[in-house]
């Protein structure tokens, strides 16, 4: 009888102590799930930042190249117009009115500059699209992270069970899978950081060449404009001055 009472007491004591132990296990799993969620969100933020900074840095480098090309063109334009005015002034000194030749040449220079600007601006637009599309693989990684984040949110709900043992086993299994997926995502993120450098450099190179080609027109056309204004001035005749002469009638003797 005493043995039966003792065994019953131990059974009750085990039952009372088991519940706190199970609750503690679940709390540990909840903490583990929160840490998983935080790590996933951190990985997503890093990927978003990587994408944003890469796009901004790439476009900034391209803008600097365009600005340098514009500065170079402005210097050339100043020299070109100065040479044209010198030639026109020499023509004026020779008595030729080269005003129309100057107007035509100046307009040609301005037109070429506008064409070059539009083409260069199109180069920048293409570069924006290019870097955006080339970084699409980062968007895929972000989407993977978002899906993993939702998955971590639903672990406890999907694993809910009246049987505590089955519930804990399910949570542990799902957590292990999600943590493994997170490691893969973090590894892919590191690879992405190494990949974007040559991708960005290639876009910058292509855009720079595109802008240079756009402004190369102004240099070839500039030489043609100088040749045309010379020809224009040569076709102008110098006005001749006529000297009026008076004829004196002979006087007759009376």
DSSP secondary structure letters along 2-41? HHHHHHHHHHHHHHHHHHHHHHHHHHHHHHHHHHHHHHHH
**In the numeric block, which tokens belong to residue 213?**
């080609």
Model confidence pLDDT, tens digit, residues 94-131: 888 889 999 999 999 999 999 999 999 999 999 999 99
pTM beyond cutoff 0.85: no
Higher-confidence residue of 54 and 22: namely 54
The pLDDT value given to residue 15: 40
The pLDDT value given to residue 20: 46
What region, left, alpha or beta, does residue 132 occupy, with left being phi > 0 and alpha being psi -120 to 50 degrees?
alpha
Model confidence pLDDT, tens digit, residues 182-220: 999 999 999 999 999 999 999 999 999 999 999 998 999
C-alpha dist (Å) from residue 150 to 51, 143, 156, 180? 22, 11, 12, 15
């Amino acid at each position: 009888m005493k043995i039966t009472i003792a065994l019953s007491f131990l059974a009750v004591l085990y039952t009372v102590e088991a519940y706190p132990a199970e609750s503690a296990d679940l709390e540990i799993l909840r903490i583990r799930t929160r840490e998983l969620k935080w790590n996933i969100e951190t990985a997503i933020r890093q990927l978003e930042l990587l994408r944003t900074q890469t796009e901004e840095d790439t476009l900034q480098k391209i803008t600097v190249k365009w600005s340098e090309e514009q500065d170079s063109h402005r210097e050339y334009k100043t020299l070109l117009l100065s040479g044209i005015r010198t030639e026109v002034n020499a023509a004026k000194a020779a008595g030729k009115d080269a005003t129309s030749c100057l107007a035509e040449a100046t307009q040609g220079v301005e037109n070429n500059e506008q064409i070059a600007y539009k083409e260069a601006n199109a180069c920048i637009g293409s570069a924006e699209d290019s870097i955006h599309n080339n970084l699409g693989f980062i968007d895929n990684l972000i989407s993977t992270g978002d899906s993993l984040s939702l998955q971590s949110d639903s672990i406890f709900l999907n694993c809910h069970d009246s049987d505590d043992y089955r519930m804990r086993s399910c949570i542990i299994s799902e957590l292990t899978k999600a943590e493994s997926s997170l490691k893969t995502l973090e590894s892919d993120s590191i690879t992405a950081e190494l990949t974007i450098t040559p991708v960005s450099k290639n876009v910058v190179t292509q855009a720079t060449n595109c802008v240079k080609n756009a402004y190369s027109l102004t240099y070839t056309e500039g030489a043609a404009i100088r040749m045309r204004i010379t020809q224009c001035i040569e076709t102008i005749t110098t006005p001749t001055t006529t000297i009026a002469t008076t004829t004196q009638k002979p006087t007759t003797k009376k």
